[in-house]
Chains A and B, each alone.
Chain A
Amino acid sequence: MSFHHLDQYATVSSPVTRATPTARVLAATAIAVGTAALPLGAWEHLGILAGLVVLVAAAAHVPASLILRRLAGPFVFVLAASTGLLFLVPGTPLIHVGPFGISDAGLQRFGFVLGRASVALTAAVILVSTTSFPELVQALRQLRLPGAVTTALGLGYRLLYLLVDELERLQRAARSRNAGGGTTRRRRLLVGITAAGLARAFSRGERTHRAMLARGFVGDLPSLAPKSWDLGTALTLAVLIVVVIAITLSAHVRS
């Protein structure tokens, strides 16, 4: 169980990492949504947005190898999912793979969906490469997400690490007891570990609650004032959003 994603982010300083986290989240969201919302066949518009993403990646000073590495896993999944489309879209078949036919329409759809997904994915990867988890929670708070949700995330982070520690310990103990056991035995042990993990998670939550009360907690989780927006960030973000909206809308109007 690796949660390195939650902690590793480019420690480079760049206009992107210096921007307040909320701006980064909004920018990534705008690009991802704008790209995902492109109508099928809007290849030129997809190309422009892809170029935009490359620009942002460059501005972020995030090494390309990091982006590609992070992109690899999700991309493979998207590739697999899009491949299904190849065979499922009706139309006159061009190629035959066994009993299945790949139509021209299917090929086009496959390519476009894959393209859309990849560009949106890259925007998300740039976000995660420039933003730490605490910053993300800050941004969500500033974006007025329900307090219960941001509190759950804020507290859940530490609780998750502690829980994973405990689960690993439980697994190790179970493994040593279970040397040579079969699938059923392993599954039963895993269920036991899960239940124990659940109970311990809640116990930890209780203890956290007591510690919070001891430091004056009365119901609402206080938060540090969010980093202020500088004019440059606000303007850049505004321009970015307008550009993305323009591109996506024009693609819809045309089709």
Chain B
Amino acid sequence: MAHIPDGFLSAPVMAGTAAASVAGLAVAVHRSRRHLAEREAPVLGAATAFVFAAQMLNFPLGAGTSAHLLGGVLVGTMLGPWAAMLVLFAVVLVQALLFQDGGIGALGANTLNMAILGVGGGMLVYRWILWLAGVGFRRRVAAAALAGAGSTVIVGVAVAVELALSDTVPLAPALVAVGGGHALMGIGEGVITGAVLAMVLRARPELVASVPSPSAWARALAYAGTTGAVTLAIGAAYLASSKPDALEAAAARLGIHEIETAYLAAPFADYTAPLGGALMAAVIGVVAVFTVAWVIGRAVARRRLGA
């Protein structure tokens, strides 16, 4: 499950994630004010109520399984990413305090995972896809579906990493169990998000926040960024799968002499290991390239639209 209970994270991870989520929320508060002025406060209440109610619904998948909706990306498409972060935070907060769904001490981590990274990452994917493909009806729905799936995967990976950094579970099994589980849940999240958005777009299109269509510049940057990121990802996969000696040799050539490399199959000895791992570096690299390209592209688009 997405919510981490108390007792599974170490003190440093609790503190670090708390600090990160406070920072993220501060940004969200600041940026949502601009967008919300037209829609007004009760809209947040309505969205919070909806996420609560929706998270309790059981969507049958067949063969006795069912999926649940996290709702972050869905709310994000309606209210924009920043307001959605605040809404998901409100939900996570009440779930921890009143339902014991997620620990109080783990609030920092759960907020970071579900409200900040899940929503932020998911909306990044949403906007990214729309920039690449345009904002037609079907693209929106597809983008939302992929974003929903992506956000769930992000949450899963984050949980796994936090558990590993806390020395509670080694990274590899955590990624497989938690990350894998979330990847499966992501399918449900994606499908439901897309389906619901499609219905809302048809019945009440005015509820869905508009996404400014990207300028030619922004589109070019999106393509470039995607290409670069894909290349890096392939490279990282290659690196991670190659023999340990090759890895060490490459590291030595790059001038990194003593890194404790992470092998996908072996658990970590202590928590400083992942930070030096090539896999980690690759993941960070991909994220960094996406982020940089997105920031640049966004700035360019804004100038173009005169916003």
Contacts and interface: CB of A to CB of B under 8 A. Distances in A.
| Whether chain A touches chain B in the assembled complex (some CB pair under 8 Å) | yes
A117 B8 contact: yes
Contacts of B78: 198, 202
Interface stretch (B191-199, B214-222, B241-249): B191-199
Interface stretch (B92-100, B138-146, B226-234): B92-100
A84 interface: yes
Contacts of A116: 6-7
Given A128-B97, A160-B52, A194 B104 contact: no
Interface in B67-114: 69, 74, 78, 83, 86-87, 89-90, 93-94, 96-101, 103-106
A197 B53 contact: yes
A196 B196 CA distance: 9
Given A40-B167, A81-B8, A85-B168, A127 B60 contact: no
A120 B97 CA distance: 11
Interface residues of A, number: 83
B196 A198 contact: yes
Contact of A37 (B14, B41, B42): B14
B264 interface: no
Majority secondary structure of chain B interface residues (helix, strand, loop or mixed): helix
A156 B103 contact: no
A60 interface: no
Contacts of B48: 152-153, 156, 159-160
Q: Is the interface of A mostly helix, strand, loop or mixed?
A: helix
B5 interface: yes
Given A191-B196, A191-B199, A152 B105 contact: no
A219 B16 CA distance: 34
Interface stretch (B122-130, B150-158, B200-208, B277-285): B200-208
Interface in B1-55: 1, 5-11, 14, 25, 29, 32-33, 36, 40-50, 52-54
B42 A205 contact: yes
B98 A6 contact: yes
Nearest to B9: A36
B11 A159 contact: no
A154 to B, nearest CB: 7
A198 B195 CA distance: 13
A37 B8 CA distance: 9
A156 B41 contact: no
A201 B44 contact: no
Nearest to A33: B105
A117 B7 contact: yes
B56 interface: yes
Contacts of A199: 200, 203-204, 207
Contacts of A163: 49-50, 53
B41 A221 contact: yes
B254 interface: no
A89 B170 CA distance: 7
A138 interface: no
Interface of A: 1, 5-6, 25, 28-29, 32-33, 35-40, 70, 73-74, 77-78, 81, 84-85, 88-90, 109, 113-118, 120-121, 123-125, 127-128, 133, 136, 140, 146, 148-149, 151-157, 159-160, 163-164, 167, 183-184, 186-187, 190-199, 201-202, 204-206, 208-209, 212, 219, 221, 248, 252
